[in-house]
Amino acid sequence: MTVNVPILEIRDISKRFDATQALSSVSLKLYPGEVHALLGENGAGKSTLIKIMTGIHQPDQGEILLAGKPIQINNSAEAQLHGIAAIYQEPMTFPDLNVAENIFISHQGRGAVVNWRKMYRDAEDILSKLGVALDVRSAARGLTLAAQQTVEIAKALSLNARVLIMDEPTASLSAHEVAQLFSLVHTLRQRGVAILFISHRMAEVFEIADRVTIFRDGKLISSAPVSEVTTETAIRDMVGRELEAYFVKEDRPQGKKLLSVRGLGREGAFSDITFDIHEGEVLGFAGLVGARRTDVGLALFGIAPADAGEVDLDGKTHKIRSPEQAMKLGIAYVPEDRRGQGLTLPMSITANITLPMLKRYLMVLGLIKRGAEQETAEQYRQQLSIRTSSILLEVSKLSGGNQQKVVLGKWLNTRPHLLILDEPTRGIDVGAKAEVHSIVNDLAAQGLGILLISSDLPEVLAMSDRILVMREGRQMGIFSREQANQEVVMTAAMGQALPIAQSLA
């Protein structure tokens, strides 16, 4: 449902930060009742545009029109007054406030006394219009991510939002939760809200969007109805070249058995997990949210040790009780949350890469061999194609894809035999994904055993030699590359009958 007059128009907006031209004369029109997808690699200018639309940054030139009239947005409060709201990958709810309080937290002029009965009634009314049943008196702390995002959407409606920006809203959601979110999006569309939808998940874009606009290097490259866009043309416009090998996987011989796991379990998390990994093999772990795949990775790395089962490495049985022990056994773990768990953001690229093996660079009296340290960092900068002006740059200043490469370099520097990759391409753009896939393929070709945990099913199917499927802490089956497809894996992940489950022996 669209009309001819845009509710919000971005006209010839430019923005520079020092030597970086973040946006260059970009224009965008958002219509009532339309879902407008904005695509682009990290660094393409999407975040800068959002911050201009929400008053965090001011443009150097250009103008913003609301219902055909020029407006000035000096801060987020003014954006809300103009009916512009944003929800993000990580919802901004207050955990100690209840649902109703979170919905109305941004309202001004309520006075010293709150009419609680009216607030709860109004909150229930908004949620009812969204077709959602939530206890408005329950604390936000106990809500799922999907429910928190619902609260954020309700908050936007309470402010009479006419434009809703959704920035990577599905990155942490299960398939069922994504379907629920898209149902809310359809409701908003019918209410005439203009939605700017930003995602790295191409399938979702084609499912939900009416129009697709693509940025590259701060410039608008293309904008067209979704019916005129294909995955191939979208990727080409995003990266500036044909991306023939989106998922890179080469056939390669596998070596000796590297890891043998039998009956691994941890009370309350998972049980009876059994598999092998060979040198040069990528074993994918698939499953829905709550399958407890990450828990298996944490157990193998000693962060949350198993309390049952056996782990054999190179023919010797081990009880892995700490990351330090795991590292000595040649195991490395790249965590899902690269910013919170994988990196020390204020430190340099060099310091992050060498941190786990700092003893290797220490001299007498605890001084660090700066030359050797920087030589190592430079080696991984080249090997992993980390794009940076200097290996001494703070890692916080890198794009998501380059941060992920630094995390990879950090753990490759421990010289592992087994590399556990937990959601290695989460939240990075399509070009960076292809680079990470190529790195994984090269590492396997060098003989590393790789355990790949990913919620991106096409990624798991394309990159893995075999796939282990989990559901609610239980192993549902292992499938060869030839056996596995989306239907087979999803059937197993949902606990249905398995027609071709491979022997676990």
Report pLDDT digits (tens) over 483-496.
Answer: 988 778 878 887 76
Instruction: Inform me whether the pLDDT recorded for 504 exceeds 80.
Output: no
Dist CA 431 CA 169 (whole Å): 20
Do domains 8-239 and 247-330+416-505 share one topology? The answer is yes
In the CATH scheme, what is the homologous superfamily, with its name and number, of domain 247-330+416-505? P-loop containing nucleotide triphosphate hydrolases (3.40.50.300)
Mean pLDDT of 78-104: 87
Q: Which residues contact 482 (CB under 8 A, 6 or more apart)?
A: none
- Hey, where are the domains in the chain? 8-239, 247-330+416-505, 347-407
Q: How confident is the model at residue 451 (pLDDT cuts 50, 70, 90)?
A: very high
b/e map 28-51, b = 16+ CB within 10 Å? bbbbbbbbbbbbbbbbbbbbbbbb
Cβ–Cβ < 8 Å for 479, 502: yes
Mean pLDDT of 358-369: 81
Dist CA 130 CA 100 (whole Å): 15
Residue 342, pLDDT score: 84
Phi and psi, residue 424, nearest 5° = -70, -15
Mean pLDDT of 230-246: 71
pLDDT digits (tens, 9 = 90+) for 181-215: 888 889 889 989 999 999 877 888 999 999 999 99
**Distance, first Cα to last Cα, the chain:** 56
Fold adopted by 8-239: Rossmann fold (3.40.50)
Cβ–Cβ < 8 Å for 505, 276: no
Tokens coding 353: 């890469």
Cβ–Cβ < 8 Å for 53, 89: no
Q: What is the largest CA-CA distance in the chain?
A: 73
pLDDT digits (tens, 9 = 90+) for 128-175: 888 888 899 998 888 887 788 888 888 888 888 899 998 888 876 777
- DSSP secondary structure letter of residue 267: T
Q: DSSP for 356-406? A: GGGGGGB-GGG-B-HHHHHHHHHHHHHHTT---S-TTSBGGGS-HHHHHHH
Dist CA 83 CA 318 (whole Å): 59
How many CB atoms neighbour CB 399 within 10 A?
17
Instruction: Inform me whether the pLDDT recorded for 502 exceeds 50.
Output: no
pLDDT digits (tens, 9 = 90+) for 117-126: 889 999 998 8
